[in-house]
């Protein structure tokens, strides 16, 4: 059985998914250490891997977050995994895959604890506004067509938050930090991958509506005063809704409603 000292058991994950998922986890590749599971997944796509392939690693030496940030990825503590999907959608429609993945992860973590987990649009899993996990979706396209999407998932499981650098430790948390006990990364990975499979099937078979509704139910952003930093602008206002494309609708004090496709949200009040 391929595993490491702290109990991330790849064979156990494979066995728990085998025959029980439609797409996610058809193949699962475990690495002790990679630069980034998203980078490894992109390389596998280039080699023609199947949809549903999962890359999971004990450690990332160059873990990446959204908007060019670093994702600290020490060994033996947390979950770092990437799921390869090949949906037949346009490049503009991929935003909903981030929301779908955030919903799947939030539900999975809620199944383990009664923690008040919520989603900060578009990709943050939070507990009382402290980040416990995030999603990095990266798309591979041919002109005008999505050939594959890599959904990278990072969840702080047994991370000692007080050991994180200042500036991060104040805004981050982990399952262990919240509950005082250590958690099985294997069990949580299984639950997340089952959830990813369930929500991906719902998305393919019934469309975006159910994903957006689940996202709204879990959202801590809607109704809050927010500041949203996009590539070119900063918007402040009330986050009113998430539309059918997964975009955040922010109403500014002069009444203008702005549709935001991608950005960094800060909850102000």
Residues that bind ligand BTN (CB under 6 A): 36-38, 60, 63-66, 69, 71, 80-82, 123-124, 134-136, 152-154
Q: Taking the complex as a whole, how short is the minimal distance between the CB of residue 64 and ligand BTN, in angstroms?
A: 4
Residue nearest to ligand BTN (CB): 134
By beta-carbon proximity to ligand BTN, the closer residue of 136 and 228 is 136
Q: Which residues of 105-117 are buried (b: 16+ CB within 10 A; e: fewer)?
A: bbbbbeeeeeeeb
Helix (H), strand (E) at residue 197: helix 185-206
CB of 79 to ligand BTN, least distance (A): 8
Q: Which residues pair with 119 in a beta bridge?
A: 125, 219
Specify the residue, 46 or 207, whose C-beta has the smaller distance to ligand BTN: 46
**Residue 155 structure tokens:** 């969840």
Shortest distance, CB of residue 78 to ligand BTN, whole angstroms?
Answer: 8
> CB 168 → ligand BTN: shortest distance, Å?
12
3-state secondary structure of 40: helix
* Nearer CB in complex with ligand BTN: 171/234: 171
Minimum separation from the CB atom of position 73 to ligand BTN (A): 6
Q: Which of residues 21 and 37 has its CB atom nearest to ligand BTN in the complex?
A: 37
User: Across-strand partners of 230?
Assistant: none
Q: Which residues are paired to 140 by β-bridges?
A: 148
Nearest CA among 26, 37, 92, 28 for reference residue 59: 37
CA 49 from chain center: how many Å? Answer: 21
Q: Which is nearer to ligand BTN, 17 or 105 (CB)?
A: 105
CB of 153 to ligand BTN, least distance (A): 6
Dump the DSSP string for 201-250.
Answer: HHHHHH-SHHHHHHHHHHBSSTTSEEEEE-SS-EEEEEEEEE-TTSPEEE
Q: Which is nearer to ligand BTN, 89 or 135 (CB)?
A: 135
C-alpha 10: how far from its chain's center? Answer: 20
């Amino acid at each position: 059985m391929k595993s490491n000292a702290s109990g991330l058991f790849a064979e156990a994950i494979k066995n728990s998914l085998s025959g029980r998922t439609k797409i996610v986890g058809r193949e699962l590749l475990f690495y002790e250490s990679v630069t980034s599971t998203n980078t490894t997944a992109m390389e596998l796509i280039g080699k023609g891997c199947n949809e549903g392939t999962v890359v999971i690693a004990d450690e990332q030496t160059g873990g990446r977050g959204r908007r060019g940030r670093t994702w600290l990825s020490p060994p033996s503590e947390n979950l770092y995994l990437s799921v390869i999907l090949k949906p037949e959608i346009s490049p503009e429609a991929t935003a909903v895959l981030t929301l779908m993945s955030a919903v799947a992860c939030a539900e999975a973590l809620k199944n383990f604890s009664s923690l008040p987990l919520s989603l900060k649009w578009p990709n943050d899993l939070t507990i009382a506004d402290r980040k416990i996990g995030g999603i990095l979706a990266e798309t591979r396209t041919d002109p005008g067509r999505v050939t594959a999407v890599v959904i990278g998932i990072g969840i702080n499981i047994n991370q000692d938050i007080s050991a994180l650098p200042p500036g991060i430790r104040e805004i981050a948390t982990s399952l262990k930090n919240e509950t005082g006990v250590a958690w099985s990364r294997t069990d949580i990975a299984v639950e997340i991958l089952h959830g990813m499979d369930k929500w991906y099937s719902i998305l393919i078979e019934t469309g975006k509506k159910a994903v957006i509704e689940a996202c709204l139910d879990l959202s801590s952003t809607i109704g809050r005063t927010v500041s949203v930093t996009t590539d070119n602008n900063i918007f402040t206002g009330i986050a009113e809704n998430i539309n059918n494309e997964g975009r955040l609708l922010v109403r500014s004090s002069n009444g203008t409603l702005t549709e935001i496709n991608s950005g960094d949200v800060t909850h102000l009040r």
